A and B are shown apart, each in its own frame.
Chain A
Amino acid sequence: MNSLVEMKKVRKTFGAVEVLKDFNLQLQEGERVVIIGPSGSGKSTVLRCINQLEPIQSGCIHFAGEPVTRQTDLCALRMQIGMVFQRFNLFPHKTALENVTEAPMVVKGISRATAEQEALRLLAKVGLSDKTANYPRELSGGQQQRVAIARALAMNPKIMLFDEPTSALDPELVGEVLLTMKELAEDGMTMVVVTHEMSFAREVADRVIFMDQGMIVEQGSPVEVFERPRHERTKAFLKRIHH
């Protein structure tokens, strides 16, 4: 097993606020990690640092064994890292199909025919074969998020990052997105998921990480973290979200 992502002593600040402090994380290929924690704990920032949407102040990040430096081609790096956002961020001026074909055509230079064939396969996989010609505004939140997942998968990434993918959804639409994510996990995709969906974490995660104030407080299997949390902060957090 190779380490796909390695974050060593990463420090990230927004002005005077230290969001990540000496943050260390290792992700194995094929691993499914769920990050939980109170808002403002730096969970999303971890994801955004991995795909370099946020520059870090110090420390280093390795991807697939290679250190990310100033010389790193960020586009080439991000192509390998799929990201799903809380607010979907679909391209509103493009149909579901075009949302999925856009990056493979523009970035990888794949022909329209090939890109569309792959996009149709991915949209079928997320259960949206009948919505390919619809614009994002004509889709429900759950459908939009599934298009967003297909869009990220179209670049054939090595890892998928999910930044609170169900937080902006109506409760009855959460299930369909989680189902898509579970199927993805079953396919063996390496995944890092920031979420408040504890049932998903229990079911899918190999490892659960509890973060607070920019640091990992504790981590372990879902059973370890959920049933036998060792730290007071974890206990307090779990108690809060279960009520």
Chain B
Amino acid sequence: MNLDYSIVVNKLPLLLEGCWVTLEISFFSLLLGMVFGTAGALCRLSANPVLNRLAFLYVWIIRGTPVMVQLFILYFGLPQLGIKLSSMTAGVFGLAVNTGAYITEIIRAGIQAVDKGQLEASMSLGMNYRQSMTRIIGPQAAKICIPPLVNQYIMTLKNSSIASLVTITELFRTGEQIIYTTFRSFEVYTVVAVLYLIMNSIFMIAADKLEKGLARR
């Protein structure tokens, strides 16, 4: 065994830059994913059969195909149809569409888990659907959704490593590039793993604090 981590330490600024890109991709795809997921959930619960069916198709197709294939279609497939996306756009959008499908199901389940009596009570007071949703059902559903959403956020942060395959130089790809010049696979990959773990841990701790704070209310 001749492990030498000094090489990796020298490359740490480069890896931290990769971390930053990973965080950027994750942040924007989650933000967009939440928009897709919320819209998807509302459509899934809508009485409108067209919206309902569209949301069902969205979740069905995305959950049933690998995220890598989805990204490849966006980045390598679409140019053939004349649609050329930058790697960052394809990566963020692809991850957002993917995570949005899972978030759709999380939010749908969260809304359905709120006691039906809450909607009836708010409607009996004269609230319309939008008012009931934003003032009464939404806040209660949000609390129920937090643990599965945290799970999904972590998944998305880890899935962002797949964006390396559409040539985004995030943490994983940065690591690979370092290996090309140093041939230190073990050291580099373990450090990359630790960096993912640190990013997710910070997020998990924050989510835990949020959850406990809400539970007290």
A interface, CB within 8 angstroms of B: 51, 53, 74-76, 78-79, 81-83, 85, 87, 89-93, 102-103, 106-108, 135, 148, 151-152, 155
Contact = CB atoms under 8 A, between A and B. Distances in A.
Nearest to A161: B124
A155 B124 CA distance: 10
B126 A83 contact: no
Contacts of A108: 126
B112 interface: no
B62 interface: no
B140 interface: yes
Given A91-B136, A93-B139, A107-B127, 13 more contacts: A53-B124, A78-B124, A81-B124, A85-B117, A89-B118, A93-B140, A102-B136, A103-B122, A103-B126, A108-B126, A135-B217, A151-B125, A155-B126
Interface string B119-144: 01111111110010001100110010
Contacts of B211: none
Nearest to A82: B124
A89 B140 CA distance: 13
B17 interface: no
A107 B128 CA distance: 8
Interface residues of B, number: 19
Contacts of B139: 93
Interface of B: 115, 117-118, 120-128, 131, 135-136, 139-140, 143, 217
Contacts of B117: 85, 87, 89
A74 B128 CA distance: 9
B131 A107 contact: yes
Contacts of A92: 140
Contacts of A76: 126
B125 A152 contact: yes
Residue among B121, B124, B131, B135 with the highest chain A CB neighbour number at 10 A:
B124
Contacts of A74: 123
A86 to B, nearest CB: 9
B61 to A, nearest CB: 33
A87 B116 CA distance: 11
12 contacts: A74-B123, A75-B123, A75-B127, A75-B128, A76-B126, A82-B124, A83-B124, A89-B115, A91-B121, A103-B122, A135-B217, A152-B125
A146 B122 CA distance: 17
Contacts of A152: 124-125
Contact of A103 (B120, B127, B140): B127
Contacts of B140: 92-93
A107 B123 contact: no
Contacts of B128: 75
A106 B123 contact: no
Contacts of A85: 117, 120-121
Nearest to A91: B136
Given A89-B117, A89-B118, A91-B136, A155 B125 contact: yes
Nearest to A103: B125
A79 B127 CA distance: 8
A38 B128 CA distance: 33
Given A93-B217, A102-B135, A75 B120 contact: no
Contacts of B115: 89
A107 B125 contact: yes
Given A75-B128, A89-B115, A92-B140, A106 B120 contact: no
B126 A91 contact: no
Nearest to B118: A89
A78 B217 contact: no
Contacts of B127: 75, 103, 106-107
